[in-house]
Each structure stands twice: as structure tokens, then as C-alpha cells.
Chains A and B, each alone.
Chain A
């Protein structure tokens, strides 16, 4: 006899300008593993933040009913008090503290402010046994791997008398073996009667452990599938079933010879030296061609691009880069730029812009040689360049003397684009070029990309939004777990095909 432990009714959550969730319903029964799936940005994490009180009651509409009671959580503390514990995608452990200290952080066994270490460590040992982790409670978090850290997070959750455990992409950064162990642990908890919600886009994992699957797309609940109906095909169709309309500018591709080639590129993790992040990638891009790289978060796309761009990521980088058939040296950013490569980062605020300086200085930064003679900057020449690019990319600002920190996301992205356009590259790598910017500005960015391609530049677009890749590229590489697992002309591609390539690739890895 099962009963409903959690019911979320008509949850609607709006951010300024965006409706992140719209009338989402989720019903979880006691003792089941309930998977929530959806594309990046579909609203999964937002939904869980609503549930756990990260977004407090009053900032969203709808009802949360937990164990038959309507709940109004004002913060994580409230939801944890009820037994709802969420383990976030990014682990929230303090690296320089021990396992025991982390598990009882803020919740120590103490009397009059004096910590009873023996009690803490004894309790920790018991909890570690439950999650199957053989480590001394005194070991520092920084000295254990990511997989074990994930287990510590779960042990921490168990210490709080958890009734509903929520795991947000728990295996995103785990190796295959660690992932399997974690899933086994989830099944073990289920046998002991615990309810969990698993958020994931790894469909093979969902297939393996979930009793029910709820699919979310564009902030709406699409359907909830019972165990007997769960199949990867069914989930994929449900996840991506949206139509393409004219959100992309039309273009007539004029594709020439191969400009840029990467051969057998491999990269290791900068800290965990034994982890190979990029495993022998071969790609090529032609003149006037827009090539997409599809993949899920954590597939290694950004790492690949950054390691290409002056070894800005990773260690033990091997492989060959050819420009117009000749091998080139890209061992530093300035060399890569000299050879005509430009990389527009995924995170424009952290890696793209000097936010406390104005548009003019940001635009010329990557090519100061272009506005100076004998290292002396030509003020007026620089101003002319900045005004020119401001017009070309349609940056909306009062003047080129506006601080980039005060611009909207779309205009900031145009400044970063202008910076790299002024460096006049042959190959332009764009990493998530439209993340976090609104539909109108997206269209403008697409128009710029189309124009650049027609001017004969080779362009690589990394994006997690599959419709975007289908809409603007000529050819798509599919990447998963550091490998290219598929290549297809955009004309033949579909979201289903891309998803299938990813899922097949995952099957291979396992």
C-alpha cells in the first residue's frame, strides 16, 4: 500500500523577464525513486530549489504538500527540518575540514559550545558504513576523490533523518564505476523504505533505477511515466518535442576548403592528473562553415575549446592543430590569437570582460597592436574602431564610454564578440554564445554568426541548446564524455538523433 509523500501543485516561478516554471505538477509516492528529466535549462533545478526553500514561500505560486501538510518553507533550514534534503550538483563541502566536521557542520554534537569529538566521530563512522565508504572520519575532504565526496554528502543527508532525498545530477562528475556504486546505494536505500528524487539527463541511469519518470520541458510538466512505460525513446521524444520556427536568420552557406583541423587531441584534468577529460578528438572546420558541437553538460566541450586556445585548460595536452594544412603552435593564448584563432568564452563575466572598464577599452584589448604604433595607442583610431564595432554588432549603450558591467547580458555578449571580431580571426569558437540572453538579442547574435560565415570565416559553436545548433549550423559533432560520438550534417540532424548518439555513446563507455 503506497501513499503520496510529496505533491507539488501548479508551481509557477518567474524571474525578471523569464517564466522559469509554469504550472508544474509533481507527485511522488512513498518509497519510490522518482526521476525528473529534461534538457539543460528546462527548469529541473529551479523546481528543486522551490521545493527545498532556496526560493522561499511567496516568491512562487502554487502549493507544496509534504506528508499531507501544506508547507511554506522560508529557507533550506525549514525544509531540512521536515526531512527534505537536497544534494546539489556542485558539492557544498568545505575542502580543508575533515569528513566528520563536514557531516556535522552547523549541527555538531556539542555542549555549551564545546564540541564532543568522540560522539561526532562515532556517529560519522556509523553513517559512513551505511553509505559504504571506508575512510577515517578525520580524513580531510580535499584528500578524497569526487566519488567519495558525493558519498559524504549522502552521509551528511542521512545524519539529518532524511525522509525525502533529492539528488541533483549526482553522477555528472563521477566516473562510470563510481556512478554505478552510487546508483546501487540508491536502490539499497529504496529497499530500506527511503523516498528519493533523482534529477538526471543520463537516461540509461534513469532507466535502471527509476520507478517513475516526470519529464519537464520549457518549465512545464510534459508527462509522468510509470515503470512499465519507461524507455529511452519515449523519454527522448518527450524531452525534446518542440518545433522549430523562424527563430533563426536564413542563410546560404558557401562552404570552401578545410581551414582548421584538430587531430587526436587529448587532455588530462588539471588537478586529478589521472582523469582524462578529452580522449582523442578529431574535428575539422571549413571556410564559411558553421560547425556545432552538441553534448550535455560535463561532456568536455568547454574543456576541449579552452585547451585548444593556448592551453588555457588542463595538463598533458597532446594532439595536433592544423591551419590550412600546416601544423601550428597554440601553446599560449597570444600564439593562438596570432594564428587567427579566437575563443568567446561561456562565462562572459568571469572570463570575457573587464567589467570595470568601458566598452572601448574592452573591444580593443585582444588586438591593441591594431590601434597603436610603436606601442603608443592612437586614441582617435581606437575610438573609431570602437564606434565602428558598436554599430556593426548593434551594441545598445549611451556611448562607447559606458562601463561593460552596466550592460545587459546580450549587449555584453556583443562587446565580447566585437573584441574577437576586431582581432580578425580565421576561426572563431563560440562557447554557449546565447546563454542567459533573451530571444531578441539571440537573433542578433545568430545574424552576426551568419554574416561572419558568409565573409568566409570558419566558426565553431558549442551549445547545449539543440534547437539552436539545428537552426544555425551546417554540420554537427556530438560529444560525450570527452569523445566525439557522432557527426551529421545539420540538414539530416534532429534532436532525437543527437540524443540517441549521446545515449549510444554512454552505452559504449559503460
Chain B
């Protein structure tokens, strides 16, 4: 008999399990923790090099508004890459949708159909149709996704430019639409003035002085943090009730406290400026939804299985063709949303909107730890990856680093992150 079949001492396994789970809880999440720590280190670095500009409330709001479309599209791209595909067309689709939205609202005079909300819904549907059209060839005719979406990238950039009549831009877009990107949630509770603003000799208030909090933002933030802690404790309780060892209590407490402190700090920052940006709220809802879908829903599980071993997934009864189609429809809808956010931020549709952003989106997903072979990757990873790219863009711009060198640095960070991943995997 070989060692494989030698009867294992059963008692030992049960006893060994506790410390091992504790260790594995740490090691399996090390990638995620490491990534978040990297983001914090990068932020502190730029906070220092920009002499405190990075964390200024106005800059944080800017940072969110500038990068939200990358993160929204990265959510879709994560599923595409986990499934074992790639989508190069997202930047062009975003540009096309922006042009379509601007034309519907400004040029075409569609009456009630020009309402920003109606336009947005139509645009999301069109995005889904584009995703379906590309996904159809990939799923049912097995054309490599690289090729189909490369074609899509050319096609939709072309249509985008044609819609804008060559090289011009279309605008200005209605304020109601622009609120999607540059708006803040209304303060239904009313502001709380902690330190009254300084009044100068002329009787006018000095901008930026004093401290007034956007109370709706504060309340929302507190609710979110309390909910996070509550669900954390509840899950722990449930595990223990069923006799499973949860992660060690001190680790849990530290994790919850650190996460809550970070969240409250950000809430304070936003509340002391103009409140929670609308786009951050949209993003937050989407991120929670995608975390839930990938971690808890059967469709998420199936996507990971398909990316990990498509043949085994198929032979386990998973309809891999339909699943692939759905993944690309989802990507199309999120590309459209990305396009709307870009147009809303610029206040107009321009031919170059979203140009090259597919590369930022893909880079965010890979920095976030996804594998190019499929089957591996986390939503939180992609989001943090997106923020790392965003903070670097923002920080280097404030520092006055030339755009050319910004690209070099971003390239090195992408390469470094993936090398770090591969090195870690080989070591394990």
C-alpha cells in the first residue's frame, strides 16, 4: 500500500482543523488584504508627496468622479475575465453610448423620449444588445473573444465618431443628466455646522473655512457601518451555532474595526465637502450586488466553474454557451453605464470619450488578482485595482508628473502586481 491509501488517523484531522482554518483564513485572504494595504500605502505616499492635497475632501470627490466609470466597467470585465474571455470593446461601446445619449437629448428632438431618465434606460438596453451581439459569436460559434471584441472596438469607435458628425462634440447636456456624475445626494436632514466659517473684514465668509457636515451622508455612512458590523457578527454566530470554527475572534474584531474606521473617515471627508457623490452611491450599490452575485449566487459559482474548467463545467450540467452570452450582455450594460457616466461628467459627448479605457479596465482587473487563464478573481480585488490606478492617476497629476511618465509607472505597477501573484502562487 502506498502512503495515499494508508488509513489516516481520523481523530487528528478533526483536532488539526481549528488552527489550520485560522491560518488558511489569513493566507487565503492575504491577497485581498495585501491589495487593500497596497492601496492605503499608495494613498499615504501621494498624501505626503502632494503635501496633503490628495485627502482634501474636494479632491477625494474628484477622484471618485473621475474613476467611477473604470470601476463600473471593471465589475463586468471581472466576470468576463473569470469566465476565461476578454473584452476589448468596452471603451468604444462607452464612447458610442455617450454619443447616442447626447444625440437623443440634444440633437434629435424626441419630445418626452429626450428625458434623461428615458434616454439612460434606452442606452442601457442598447448596451445589453451590443453585448448580446458580441457574446453570440463568442458563445455559440466559438469565435475567440479577443477577435470579436477587437472588431467591436473598431466598429463602435467608428459609429461613435460618425454619430458626432466627424470630429465635433455634442452638448451641452441637461443638468438633470449631468447629476449622474457630478451631482451629490440631497441633504434631506439638513447641514450641521460644527465650526462656523470665518467671516472676513468685509463681512463675507472665507471659502473652505469652518466645518459644516452633510448630515444625510453621515447618517447613511453610520447605517452602512453598523449594518456591516451587524452582519459580520450574525454570520459568526450562525457558524458557531452550527459547530463550525469561524475566523479567530481577535482577527475578526481588528478587521471590523479597521474597515469601519476607514469607512467613517471617508464618510467624514465627503460629509465635510458637499456630501456623497451620486456616482459613488451607484457604484456602491453595484459593487455590493456583484459581491453578492459572485460569492453567494449559483450563477456566480457557475461562472467560476466555467472559467476554471469549461469541459468539466459542461459535463456537470452547466449551459456554458448561455452563461457566456449572459456574461457579455452584463458587460455591455455596464459599458453603457460607463459611457453615460463619462458623458455626464464632461457635460457633452466627445469622439474620444472612453478611448483606451478598455486597457485601464483590464489592468484594474489583473492588478486585482484575476488570472488571465480564467477561473480566478474577486470583485473587491478589481475594485481596489481600479482605485489603485485612479489614485496613481490623480496623485501623479497633482504632483505634476508628465502624462507620458504616468503611463510608464502604471505599466510597471501592472507588471509588478501580476509578477507578485505568479511568484506567490509558485511558492504555495
Contacts and interface: CB of A to CB of B under 8 A. Distances in A.
Q: Bound pair: A and B?
A: yes
Interface of A: 17, 309-310, 312, 332-334, 336-337, 343, 345, 350-357, 361, 365-366, 368-369, 372, 375-377, 379-380, 383-384, 396, 398-399, 401, 408-411, 419, 437-441, 443-444
Contact of A401 (B8, B28, B315): B28
A375 B376 contact: no
A337 B270 CA distance: 53
Given A356-B308, A440-B5, A380 B375 contact: no
A312 B317 CA distance: 11
Contacts of B6: 440
A17 B375 contact: no
Interface residues of B, number: 39
A352 to B, nearest CB: 6
Nearest to B375: A356
B4 A408 contact: yes
Contact of B2 (A336, A368, A440, A444): A440
Given A352-B312, A357-B375, A334 B319 contact: yes
B315 A361 contact: no
A345 B311 CA distance: 11
Nearest to A364: B301
14 contacts: A17-B2, A310-B317, A332-B319, A333-B316, A333-B317, A345-B315, A351-B311, A365-B313, A380-B244, A399-B24, A409-B4, A410-B4, A410-B5, A439-B5
A409 B371 CA distance: 25
Nearest to A384: B242
A398 B302 CA distance: 25
A369 B298 contact: yes
B142 interface: no
Contact of B317 (A337, A377, A438): A337
B304 interface: yes
Nearest to A409: B4
A361 B298 CA distance: 11
Given A368-B302, A398-B17, A399-B17, 19 more contacts: A312-B314, A333-B314, A354-B312, A356-B308, A357-B308, A365-B301, A366-B316, A376-B298, A380-B239, A398-B20, A408-B4, A411-B4, A419-B316, A437-B4, A438-B2, A439-B5, A440-B6, A441-B5, A443-B5
A395 B297 CA distance: 26
Interface of B: 1-2, 4-6, 8, 13, 16-17, 20-21, 24, 28, 238-239, 242, 244, 296-299, 301-302, 304-305, 308-309, 311-319, 371, 375-376
A351 B305 contact: no
Given A312-B314, A399-B24, A441-B4, A361 B304 contact: yes
Contacts of B301: 361, 365, 368, 377
Contacts of A357: 304-305, 308, 375
Nearest to A368: B298
Contact of B1 (A312, A332, A343, A439): A439
Contacts of B239: 380
Contacts of B16: 398
A376 B371 CA distance: 25
A379 B296 CA distance: 8
A332 B322 CA distance: 13
Contacts of A441: 4-5
B312 A351 contact: yes
Contacts of B20: 398-399
Contacts of A355: 308-309
Contacts of B312: 350-354, 365
A354 B309 contact: yes
A339 to B, nearest CB: 11
Given A384-B242, A411-B4, A354 B315 contact: no
B305 A354 contact: yes
Contacts of A440: 1-2, 4-6
B4 A438 contact: yes
B244 A396 contact: no
A377 B299 CA distance: 10
Nearest to B311: A351
Contacts of B238: 380
A383 B319 CA distance: 25
B288 to A, nearest CB: 14
Nearest to A16: B2
Given A375-B299, A377-B296, A444 B5 contact: yes
A353 to B, nearest CB: 6
A365 B305 contact: yes
A309 to B, nearest CB: 7
Contacts of A350: 309, 311-312
A337 B316 CA distance: 8
A223 B123 CA distance: 78
A390 to B, nearest CB: 10
